[in-house]
Amino acid sequence: MNFSDILRTAIYALRGNWMRSALTSLGVIIGIAAVIVMVSVGQGTQQEIDKMVSGLGSQRLDISPGAGRGGGGVRMSSASFFTLNEGDVDAIRSEIPEVQYVAGALRGNTQVVYAENNASTSWQGVQADFFDINGWVIANGQGFDAQDYTSAGKTVILGETVRRTLFGDEPGIGQTIRLGRVPFTVVGTLKPKGQGGFGQDQDDVVMVPLETARRRLMGAMGLPSGAVMQIALTVSDAKDLSYAQGEVEGLLRQRHRIKPGEEDDFNVRNISEIVATRTATTRLMSLLLGAVATISLIVGGIGIMNIMLVSVTERIREIGLRMAVGAGPADVRRQFLAEAMLLSLGGGVLGIVIGVAGALLVGKFSDLPVALNGQVIALAATFSIMTGLFFGYYPARKASQLDPIEALRQQ
């Protein structure tokens, strides 16, 4: 028997009991669909993590205030939460050569108004290096000049979301807007970044000089002189990040006069460690979900093998007739193996269609990121073929080993 004869005979045999064939393929359909969806979600999540690393920087440290305690007593009052200041920023810049950029920042929320348009947004009071640290690029207009930083100039740079809300299609450069009750002149707009790694709109923000934020937007809070809410820094070489972290912690403990054994009044966060932890967690979840999908494929393959063994038992007389008219064991083995592979391949094709559709639906109706590519589909098709070949071989071999005379005696 040639290949076309084997294929035609296998299709005829499966079509004779199409309902059982469809149900037999169900396990493979579910397994392949699960593989595509799970792998697509895993790859999409990994891409989002890579995007987040690009946005945050793998060579970055963030320093925030912390309520330190020492000697069993409270080390600072509730009124002095702002334990970081511009002096710390200057000390880090001058005393730790591995640091490339460093900037202090204040932040808050406000209502931004222009004519009849308004938006509730967040503001950042920043120093010059803040833009380089966070990868912000001026799209229109210009950045703050030196005088803006030193004289608390009432100038503002808008994120794309705020600019679009206030000015529509216009750039808005030179226009006067209000942050709360304070008028500001728009000197620039930021190149959009889109959604961040944690789902936030990175463009829903406005930037003002640090001293402007302290005097104009937070004056009523009575901040300590030079206080900042956060210090961010980057190093020139990622290899120096851990060393720089230790140097920063030692320098701040010295400047804040923290004695040995006392708790720090600041927290240093290593972005790369957070991202690495999230990446490891994502990979672990992807492996777990992939294992579940693989189990579904194995169950589907066992179902195919089981049904093919039943088919061999039901068709013993047919096998005997085929051998009696000249079909050899190899012909019988190829026929049953072809039937098993058709079941698996048909289930694989349906599984690919359902998996691609399912992945697209997950990406559309949920917050999970999805990344489809041809390699995933090719992997799924290979899995389906291998499943049919592996689990169909034993029933095919059993059918080929039947004795023709004993087979013809079966009623």
C-alpha–C-alpha distance, residues 89 and 107, integer Å: 16
At residue 69, does pLDDT exceed 70?
Answer: no
pLDDT, residue 252, reads 94
Output the DSSP codes for 21-35.
HHHHHHHHHHHHHHH
Which 3 state secondary structure label does DSSP give 385? helix
Encoded tokens for 205: 């923000």
Output the DSSP codes for 73-93.
EESS-GGG---EEHHHHHHHH
Task: Label residues 376-399 b or e (16+ Cβ within 10 Å = b).
Answer: bbeebbebbeebbbebbbebbebb
- Tokens 């709360």 locate to 180
pLDDT, residue 79, reads 41
DSSP class of 63: E
Helices 18-56 and 3-15: crossing angle in degrees, nearest 10, is 100
Which 3 state secondary structure label does DSSP give 227? strand
> What is the percent of the chain where pLDDT is above 90?
33
- The 3-class secondary structure across 300-341, one letter per residue, is HHHHHHHHHHHHHHHCHHHHHHHHHCCCCHHHHHHHHHHHHH
At residue 391, does pLDDT exceed 70?
Answer: yes
Q: What are phi and psi of 191, to 5 degrees?
A: -65, 130
Tens of pLDDT, residues 276-296: 776 677 677 767 766 776 777
pLDDT, residue 251, reads 95
CB 387 within 8 A of CB 304: yes
Encoded tokens for 30: 């579910």
Question: Which residues are paired to 84 by β-bridges?
Answer: 228
Q: What are phi and psi of 269, to 5 degrees?
A: -115, 125
Which of 25-34, 205-214, 351-360 is modeled with the greatest confidence? 205-214
C-alpha–C-alpha distance, residues 396 and 59, integer Å: 59
CA 289 from centre of chain: 15
Higher pLDDT: 296 or 247? It is 247
Mean pLDDT of the chain: 81
C-alpha–C-alpha distance, residues 10 and 20, integer Å: 14
Q: Which helix (H) or strand (E) holds 7?
A: helix 3-15
Higher pLDDT: 397 or 199? It is 397
Which of 25-34, 52-61, 202-211, 235-244 is modeled with the greatest confidence? 202-211
C-alpha–C-alpha distance, residues 202 and 124, integer Å: 12
Tens of pLDDT, residues 76-87: 443 457 889 999
Going by DSSP bridges, is the β-strand pair 205-209/117-126 parallel, antiparallel, or unpaired? Answer: parallel
At residue 197, does pLDDT exceed 60?
Answer: no
Residue 28 burial (CB < 10 Å; 0-12/13-18/19+)? buried
Tens of pLDDT, residues 146-156: 999 988 889 99
| Model confidence band, residue 254 (pLDDT cutoffs 50, 70, 90) | very high
At residue 179, does pLDDT exceed 60?
Answer: yes
N-to-C CA span, the chain? 26
pLDDT, residue 110, reads 92
Tens of pLDDT, residues 291-350: 776 777 777 778 778 777 777 777 777 777 777 776 777 777 777 778 777 888 888 888
pLDDT, residue 188, reads 95
C-alpha–C-alpha distance, residues 318 and 12, integer Å: 13
60-to-63, 103, 243, 270, 358 alpha-carbon distances in Å: 10, 12, 12, 7, 38
Tens of pLDDT, residues 160-174: 999 999 999 999 999
For residues 106-114, give the mean pLDDT. Answer: 93
pLDDT, residue 162, reads 94
Domain boundaries along the sequence of the chain: 3-53+276-409, 67-264
Output the DSSP codes for 38-59.
HHHHHHHHHHHHHHHHHHH-TT
CB 44 within 8 A of CB 363: yes
pLDDT, residue 324, reads 73
